[in-house]
Amino acid sequence: MTSARELSTHEAGRIKAVCLDIDDTLLDSQNSARRAFATLTGNDAAWPVWQRITAEYHARMTAGEIDFETMCLWRTRDFFAAFGERLDEDEVRARERRRMAAMRECWELFDDVSECLDWLRASGLAVAAITNAPGEYQRHKLAAVGLAEVFDVMLISGEYGVSKPSEEIFYAACSSLGLAPRQVAHVGNSLEVDAEGAARAGMHGVWLDRSAGDSARGRCRSAGVSVISSLYELPELLVCDLSYPREEIGEVLRGGGLVVSG
Ligand SMILES: [Mg+2]
């Protein structure tokens, strides 16, 4: 029989909410960006050049040096300049509008999102979003893929003023949920920005590594971070691996308080 102490430990330690990153976690943003890029240039042969310029400007945006619109315009300007085409400002804006319109046409969720969200809801867990993006742009994107009303709490860096991996934005999400960080898991496609950032804030960091192959569940990349290779693996991770505080897992398993099949 479960003792009162075990019960209170269990209740205190259970995951009660899951926070989710948006881009490349729920939305296949890389794919839509690549398809929009191909619309702009006629093919995607120069995609690596676009990615390199994106990384440079994205870092400057995350550091607060430039805003989202400036990043988009300067990236388009620099990309064509790299191939010897000097565009005036009007032409840069026109091409960026065309690229953005193409991207909006192909925003789509990964196949595993709907089932995962349904399971989280059916399990009684609160669901939040923590995303690094401009507010208006991200809310428009979420509405376009049917996620506008899904989250109990939504923290968008462009609105909140702080980006992941700052602990502050993770604390803010937990505070809005009314939970302690150890009661919340955060799932995202970036090891550094999502999983390790959340773990530093005392949450359970879950790295969604879609390139990991069949099943990554159970692998621990670093302290406080678990790995999954698809959102189909998230329910099992939450039930089997994260139901108890890490320091209690061994004790509970030895006492027969938790049966793990398979
Ligand atoms: Mg992401």
Cα 24 to ligand 1 centroid, rounded to whole Å:
5
pLDDT digit string, tens, across residues 67-82: 999 999 999 999 999 9
Per cent of the chain over pLDDT 70 is 84
* Rg of the chain in Å (alpha carbons): 21
Taking only the tens place, the pLDDT of each residue in 76-109 is: 999 999 999 999 999 999 999 999 999 999 999 9
Distance 230 CA to ligand 1 centre (A): 14
* CA of 189 relative to ligand 1 center, distance in Å: 5
Decide which of 1.10.10, 1.10.3470, 1.10.150, 3.40.50 is the CATH code for 30-105. Answer: 1.10.150
In contact, 207 and 228? CB cutoff 8 Å: yes
pLDDT single digits (tens) 206-218: 999 998 776 655 5
pLDDT score, position 12: 40
Q: How far is the CA of 41 from the centre of ligand 1 (A)?
A: 25
Ligand 1 mean position to 1 CA, how many Å? Answer: 43
Q: In 3D, which of 188, 82, 61, 211 has the Cα closest to residue 133?
A: 61
- The reported pLDDT for the residue numbered 215 is 60
| Residue 241, pLDDT score | 78
Distance 11 CA to ligand 1 centre (A): 30
pLDDT in tens, 154-202: 999 999 999 999 999 999 999 999 999 999 999 999 999 999 999 999 9
Contact between 191 and 221 under an 8 Å Cβ cutoff? The reply is yes
Report the candidate in 181, 208, 232 with the shortest Cα–Cα distance to residue 23: 208
Q: Cα of 14 to ligand 1 centre, how many Å?
A: 25
In the chain, residues under CATH classification 3.40.50.1000 are 4-28+108-254
pTM for the model:
0.82
CA of 30 to the centre of ligand 1 (A): 10
Superfamily of the domain at 4-28+108-254 = HAD superfamily/HAD-like (3.40.50.1000)
Pinpoint the alpha helices (H) of 161-248: 167-177, 197-200, 234-236
**Whether the predicted pLDDT of 258 surpasses 50:** no
How far away, in angstroms, is 188 Cα from ligand 1 center?
6
In the predicted model, what is the mean pLDDT of residues 17-25? 98
Domain with CATH 1.10.150 in the chain: 30-105
| Mean pLDDT, the chain, integer | 86
Lowest mean pLDDT across 38-52, 173-187, 230-244: 230-244
* Beta-bridge partners for 157: none
Residues by chain with Cβ below 5 Å of ion ligand 1: 21, 23-24, 189
The pLDDT of residue 112: 97
CA of 51 to the centre of ligand 1 (A): 15
CA of residue 88 to ligand 1 center, whole Å:
32
